[in-house]
Chains A and B, each alone.
Chain A
Amino acid sequence: MPAQENLALASAGAKISMATSWHLVHKAENTIDSNNKTFWVTTGLFPHELILTLPQVVTVRKIIITSMKVARWTVESSVAEKPQLFEPFTEQDVEDADQSIQTVTLLSSNPETLARHLRLIIAKGHAPFTSVHKVIVYGDPVSSAG
């Protein structure tokens, strides 16, 4: 069993292919920059979403997201070369943590789920605006025999 390594890091080749809101400072790339202090902010109304693209196809073991004011995550995954043809991964309600950070662990209903792209959808919020501080993806690469 290899040591757990976060695959959702810009330094490891992960990138944000799409985000539904833009802010000069609080940009979507802050979710994969390995810094807990920086965050992506949604700028009003729901749903909002991020598409996270990993450097290669992996078997996703779990996704851990730190956020504030998110009320519901809906996650989809895709193995296509481009971010398209998404399929349901999981859905989860999140309780309000007031002014503290929420930490959510998302597991696929199917433990063998492969993904190159993960579409992280904030379906609802506990407030008009929400933040996503860090996205961590644990999994095992499938393309190379490691």
Chain B
Amino acid sequence: MTFGKIILRNKCVVLGSPTTGKTALTQLFHSDGTQYAKTYAMTLHCDTSLKPITIPDTQFTVDLYIHDIGCSDLFAQDWVKYTEGATSYMIVYDVTNADSFKDVGKWMEIVSRGAQGVLVANKTDQTSRRVVSTAQGEELASRFGLGYFECSAATNTDVEAPFYYLASTFHQAFMDACQIFERGV
């Protein structure tokens, strides 16, 4: 058989304080920029969506099973259940909301160790209201060993980049794992 895509499956959980734009980012990415919720509706429990991402110049597709988790304290007892088995995660904060930035450490405690993560600074279009700088974001990301990304769901700017990064990192992890399996004795 010479045809066919090799499909890698990656469960990605999206965490971060309420109203930081997790659902807007997820829906915008999932719909290729066509769906943006104009009114706020709190995510209840967990919304899931599947997004296949083709890795350029390979025969691999990463199926990203995105779990957009309701991060209101109402659902705190279920967070461990929703994040179980995740192979990647995205922690979102709002650059106009210092508290959401302070909470990043709290979300780090929930994610499974060994998974790949990114820190996403959202709402960068709000330049005059911004209170968390790029340098602060980068510093925190490097302290936690996360990739750092800035974006704006409202203006659909750079929303895909963190998802592509997670897919690409997962593909690389698979290639590395295969090398270890080939050497195994």
- Which residues of A are in contact with B by a Cβ distance under 8 Å? 21-24, 26, 37, 39, 41, 43-46, 68-69, 99-101, 127-129, 131, 133
Whole-angstrom distance between the alpha carbons of A101 and B181 in the complex?
A: 8
Given known pairs A22-B6, A43-B7, the reply for A133 and B87 (CB within 8 Å) is: no
Residues in chain B near residue A101, CB distance under 8 A: 184-185
B8 touches A44 (CB 8 A): yes
Asked if B48 lies at the interface with its beta carbon under 8 angstroms from chain A, I say no
Of A24, A26, A100, A128, the contact of B1 (CB 8 Å cutoff): A24
| Bound complex: CA A91 to CA B4 (Å) | 34
Q: Are B184 and A133 in contact (CB under 8 A)?
A: yes
Q: Is B170 an interface residue (CB 8 A)?
A: yes
Chain B residues within 8 Å of A, Cβ to Cβ: 1-2, 4, 6-11, 59, 63, 65, 85, 87, 114, 170, 173-174, 177-178, 180-185
Contacts of B182 in A (CB 8 A): 37, 39
* A-B contact number at CB 8 A: 67
- Is there contact, CB below 8 Å, between A99 and B180? yes
Q: Compute how far the CA of A23 lies from the CA of B173 in the bound complex, rounded to whole angstroms.
A: 15
- A44-B8, A44-B174, A45-B11 given; A100·B185 CB < 8 A: yes
**B residues less than 8 Å from A24 (CB atoms):** 1-2, 4, 6, 59
Partner of B183, one of A21, A23, A99, A127: A99
Question: Shortest distance in angstroms between A15's beta carbon and chain B's nearest beta carbon?
Answer: 16
Give CA–CA (A37, B182) in the complex, Å.
7
Find chain A residues with CB under 8 A from B184 CB: 39, 68, 99-101, 131, 133
**Chain B residues whose C-beta falls within 8 Å of the C-beta of A100 in the assembled complex:** 184-185
Q: Are A128 and B173 in contact (CB under 8 A)?
A: yes
CB-defined contacts of A23 to chain B, threshold 8 Å: 6
Q: Is the CB of A43 within 8 A of B183?
A: no
Q: How many angstroms from the CA of A129 to the CA of B183 in the assembled complex?
A: 15
Q: Cα distance A133–B59 when bound, in Å?
A: 23
**Among candidates A37, A45, A129, A133, residue contacting B177 with C-beta atoms closer than 8 Å:** A129
Smallest CB separation, B168 vs chain A (Å)? 14
List the B residue with the shortest CB-CB distance to A37: B182
User: CA of A21 to CA of B177 in the docked complex: distance in angstroms?
Assistant: 15
Chain A residues near B2: list those with CB within 8 A.
Answer: 24
A23 to B177, CA, bound (A): 14
Pairs A–B under 8 Å by Cβ, sample size 6: A23-B6, A37-B182, A41-B177, A43-B9, A101-B184, A128-B174
